[in-house]
């Protein structure tokens, strides 16, 4: 690849990341946004749950392996400060609710080397899968048209979308939601 083309691609990626970061920062000032979507996104949820993605060790992982569980799918990246902020809380919640049928799944918009390094520095108790920018249209259909991160999707045991959130999901608030769902 020619240096000028590479520079242009890097610049475009940096601009996209900056815009997404600004949108997330705006949302975080209000504590994130949640959505109980008014439109039918059941096809998008089915598409999400049908995904098979590699983990950071390049092993294929199907989201269908957690069928019958409450699934918390968190889209994140190692370069995303709010993502890094909420992951230890998600890890604690995974430990607390794992025996009650809750499964957290992280989908990283990042490269595997960075995700492996992150998981050494900040171990989490749930699987981290590798996504790609090809999943951005799917996140838009799920209720994240800006493509901001972190973006979390809460799906019930039957595969129905319960809630989405753009921005950090505070641990105490999410704990209350999961407590209600697992009673």
Residue ranges making up the domain that contains 28: 3-181
Contacts 24+ apart (CB under 8 A), 140-148: 141/41, 141/43, 141/44, 141/47, 142/41, 142/44, 142/45, 142/48, 143/35, 143/37, 143/41, 144/75, 146/20, 146/23, 147/16, 147/20, 147/23, 148/20, 148/21, 148/23, 148/24, 148/27
The secondary structure of residue 42, as a DSSP letter, is H
Contact 44, 143 (CB under 8 A): no
Domain count for the chain: 1
- Considering the entire predicted model, what is its pTM? 0.80
| In the predicted structure, residue 43 carries a pLDDT above the cut 50 | yes
Percent of residues, the chain, with pLDDT higher than 70: 78
Indicate which CATH number applies to the domain containing 144. Answer: 3.40.30.10
What local confidence, expressed as pLDDT, does residue 4 receive?
54
What local confidence, expressed as pLDDT, does residue 18 receive?
41
How many whole angstroms separate alpha carbon 115 and alpha carbon 56? 6
| pLDDT tens per residue across span 49-76 | 999 999 988 999 999 999 999 999 999 9
């Amino acid at each position: 690849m020619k240096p000028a083309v590479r520079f242009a691609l890097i610049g475009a990626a940096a601009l996209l990341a900056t815009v997404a970061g600004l949108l997330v920062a705006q949302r975080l000032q209000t504590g994130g946004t949640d959505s109980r979507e008014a439109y039918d996104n059941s096809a998008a949820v089915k598409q999400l749950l049908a995904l098979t993605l590699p983990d950071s060790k390049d092993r294929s992982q199907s989201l269908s392996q957690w069928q019958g569980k409450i699934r918390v799918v968190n889209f994140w990246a190692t370069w995303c400060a709010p993502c890094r902020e909420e992951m230890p809380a998600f890890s604690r919640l995974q430990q607390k609710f794992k025996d009650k049928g809750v499964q957290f799944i992280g989908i990283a918009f990042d490269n595997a080397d960075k995700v492996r390094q992150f998981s050494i520095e900040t171990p989490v108790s749930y699987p981290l899968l590798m996504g790609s920018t090809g999943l951005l249209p799917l996140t838009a259909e799920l209720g994240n048209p800006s493509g901001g991160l972190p973006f979390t999707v809460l799906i019930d045991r039957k595969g129905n979308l319960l809630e989405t959130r753009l921005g950090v999901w505070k641990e105490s608030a999410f704990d209350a939601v999961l407590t209600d769902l697992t009673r």
